[in-house]
Structure 1
Amino acid sequence: MHVYKKPSGLWAYKIDIGKNPRTGKRQQKEKGGFKRAKDARIAGEEALRLYRNKGFARPEAVTFGDFAQEWLKSYATTAKVSSVRIRKHQLGHLNRYFEKIPVQKIYKKQYQDALLSLAKTLAPNTISGIHATAKMIFRRAIEYELIYSDPTEFATVPRPKRKIVDPDENVPAYLEKSQLLDFLETAKEKGIMPDYPLFTLLAYTGLRIGEALALTWEDIDFKQHVVKVSKTLYNPTNNAEKYELLPPKTETSVRIVTMPGHLEKVLAEFNFQSSKFRLEYKEMWYYPKDSKLGFVFTAPAHPGHPLTQRLVQTRIDRIQRLMNTPVSLHIHPHIFRHTHASLLAEAGVDLVQIMKRLGHADDTITRQIYLHITKTLATETAEKFDELLNKA
């Protein structure tokens, strides 16, 4: 640090603040206007301390909770809203153990003990997410030179011992073929637009509800007979006019799904009907950014805006009450995804192709459904063989 007197008679300080990362040249910060050299020196020392501590006046007093909150603010500037919400939730678990503890006072054993404690009530995948968040926070603390050792390094996420998988154990709910046909027929005869096209699309493609509601007519390619999945609708408030279009859940979720002939026919008819509404409403019809044709499934009370998941569930509940044969299962949007997987397995499609169509890199639920269906088919095959050999 250099303290000097300016021609005006006032004092100033000059401090080094490292090198410019692009040019490699030395950088300095200068400030004047002090009446005494002592005042300039005190101010310069404080400025230098703040620079070295990256904005924290007393790094030894920075608690995990305070630092994590600052990290979350920075993270939120580049991450998806849904990702920020997840990280915030994971941070809540970490704060139960470390919120009031200075960052420098959190040690490896402390952190590992916290993971072991979390394992008593949370699933391994949930703990892995919490662990990933903690690693990001402590690595940022190292960058800021608040700590020199990462307590998350070498920590392990507790996992239960592997057990023999029973194909019939905890099989996710799905509709039988007859139940699905009954639901779709009821939607066609007694539903409110766009019930039938929407539920037909969910059943025939296995799309997630957020992916389906984010579709614009540009995503429906009638020439190539495909649906292009490249985004998902995020709308936690269920306000049709306050939504976000975000990238899908994972990289494998970005995909092109072939349309069966029946679905293509249903969507073509629906597109013709929708175009009439768009022409009728003219400039009152809402169009999302980068779309000239608009959303496929729109909210009746908000012309052109996307349907909300709450309204979708309300429509499902209504159709379920009107079905010819009562179904004891609670039908929800995701059950069509499970049902699609079960029908593909029953049709003899292998697991890899099913997961590719659904946009999964790996998925326990799909695997459970597949194992259950293929076990049932294997039993039927054995019975047919027995009948063939012993019918005499």
Structure 2
Amino acid sequence: MYFEERKNKVGKIFYVANERYADPLTGKKKRASVVYHSNTVRARRQAERELIDKIDLIISKKQGVFKSSTLLTFDDLKRNWFETWKTTVKPQTIKREIVVINRLSELIADDILLDSVTPLLVQNCLKEYREKYHSTHSTMQHIKCTLNKIFDYGVLHNAIPFSPSRVIKLNATVEEKREKKKRKEAKFLNAKEVNALLSELRGRRNLNYYDLALFLIGTGCRIGEASALTMNDIDFENHLVTIDKSLQAHDLKVDEFYLDTTKTEAGERIGQLPEFVIQALRRVIERNKVFDKHVENLPSSVFRKVDFLFRTEYGAPITSHSFRQILGRVNKVLKLKCPEKYGFEWTKNAIPHSFRHIHISVLRNDPTIPLKEVQARVGHVQEETTNGYTHLLSTSQEKSVEAISRFIEKMGVNENIA
């Protein structure tokens, strides 16, 4: 450290304490200084202390760019990642991840030092956890995915030099691979299976489920997107639907349902509607008018008054949960009666998302429909995502509308129903 005597513009004397230090980012020598105005021992000692503090602050700030001294244990890293990550996702995603976060405390001790976490340690922890809880391959993949995100956060903040979970490969057993393929196949329906499913839905007491199925087949919408629709979203004159929101109902009471954005930014779109979907929507609207009049004449606490198009018998919006329940009952009926009624064994497990699979598969099986048109219609960004929905076998949406209309005509659903 060295000291200088200087004069300002008006000739007044002041003093400067100087010191050189190594920049932690570049290693180059730099200079810092502090000004003081009295040439006394006390003033000089005070300037020395201030200069030391100033240099320490400069270095710590620059080290903070590439060092993270606060992340010492796995719990430190886990909590810091979660607080940052949860601001980037939706509430229902946070709820699902909290379950995994709680499991991680059993997987890896919270107080273990990050320097002690190695790939072998993580692999053994995963193995022990799976054996202890007899977890499925899918569950373990979810846990490893969360670990990857946590350790990647640690790498980004220089708490660890590399992710110890990235190099670990989880291998499913032959039986697990078969079961996964079987579950996936059960969601896909061919033409005769769609026909049987629609016929059974048409026989349900609440025909809104049948018309909802037609809407989902005709548009490829996600169930949450369809649940959020109101009359304001339908342009009957131009046969268009605006998809710009989704109804969130998972683990919530009816009064707690809320509207959220679509699953992805690309999910916001305008879709062209086939005529059979327009007719289904008109039937739904007429039923809603009858229901609203009934509620007006015979009010009851069990009835709900909402603006959503697709409603249950009590007026609440049809959600993934309520539709899944109906489809579950239909699946059971078909397993028992399908051979007698339709001439084949029912081996499928229809779920709300099955209708989106049907829509995309029909369009991708028509070689005249460009992939970009399919992506725009269903709100996909990545080609891999769209191709992941295809089964058995790839601007205007007219070709899509024509293809799905031809498919639905084979089902014989163009007849008038109440």
The normalised TM-score by structure 2 is 0.57
**SS of corresponding position for 1:306:** coil
Q: CA deviation at 1:65?
A: 2.9
- Of 253, 264, 267, 2:267 maps to 253
Partner of 1:107: 115
* Structure 1: stretches of 5+ with no match in the other structure: 1-51, 53-58, 143-147, 162-168, 289-293, 375-392
Matched ranges for 1:110-125 at <5 A: 110=118, 114=122, 121=137
Partner of 1:295: 308
Structure 2 CA distance for partners of 1:236 and 1:116, relative to 1, 3 Å:
same
CA contact (8 A) 1:174 1:342 kept: no
Q: Is 2:333 the partner of 1:333?
A: no
- Output one character per residue of 1:147-204: Cα deviation in whole Å (capped at 9) or x when no partner: x63455697465699xxxxxxx876441111221232233234442311111111221
Partner of 1:211: 225
C-alpha distance in 1 between matches for 2:92 and 2:327: 25
Matched ranges for 1:300-319 at <5 A: 300-301=313-314, 303=315, 305-319=316-330
C-alpha distance in 2 between matches for 1:258 and 1:86: 34
Partner of 1:353: 373
CA contact (8 A) 1:197 1:266 kept: yes
How many residue pairs get matched?
294
Partner of 2:393: 373
C-alpha distance in 2 between matches for 1:116 and 1:207: 42
Q: Is 2:363 the partner of 1:344?
A: yes
Partner of 1:228: 242
CA contact (8 A) 1:206 1:337 kept: yes
Structure 2 CA distance for partners of 1:97 and 1:307, relative to 1, 3 Å:
same
Structure 2 CA distance for partners of 1:157 and 1:208, relative to 1, 3 Å:
farther
- Output one character per residue of 1:370-390: Cα deviation in whole Å (capped at 9) or x when no partner: 37327xxxxxxxxxxxxxxxx
CA contact (8 A) 1:76 1:84 kept: yes
Partner of 1:82: 92
C-alpha distance in 1 between matches for 2:117 and 2:78: 20
Structure 2 CA distance for partners of 1:272 and 1:256, relative to 1, 3 Å:
same
Cα-Cα RMSD: 4.1
Partner of 2:290: 276
* Structure 2: stretches of 5+ with no match in the other structure: 1-59, 61-68, 131-136, 172-180, 395-418
CA contact (8 A) 1:210 1:232 kept: yes
Q: CA deviation at 1:260?
A: 0.9
The normalised TM-score by structure 1 is 0.60
C-alpha distance in 2 between matches for 1:316 and 1:371: 21
- Output one character per residue of 1:22-64: Cα deviation in whole Å (capped at 9) or x when no partner: xxxxxxxxxxxxxxxxxxxxxxxxxxxxxx9xxxxxx989753
- Output one character per residue of 1:281-317: Cα deviation in whole Å (capped at 9) or x when no partner: 35987566xxxxx11122323x3x3224332123223
CA contact (8 A) 1:216 1:295 kept: yes
C-alpha distance in 1 between matches for 2:98 and 2:325: 30
**SS of corresponding position for 1:299:** coil
Partner of 1:180: 194
C-alpha distance in 1 between matches for 2:375 and 2:120: 34
**SS of corresponding position for 2:259:** strand
C-alpha distance in 2 between matches for 1:218 and 1:182: 32
**SS of corresponding position for 1:107:** helix
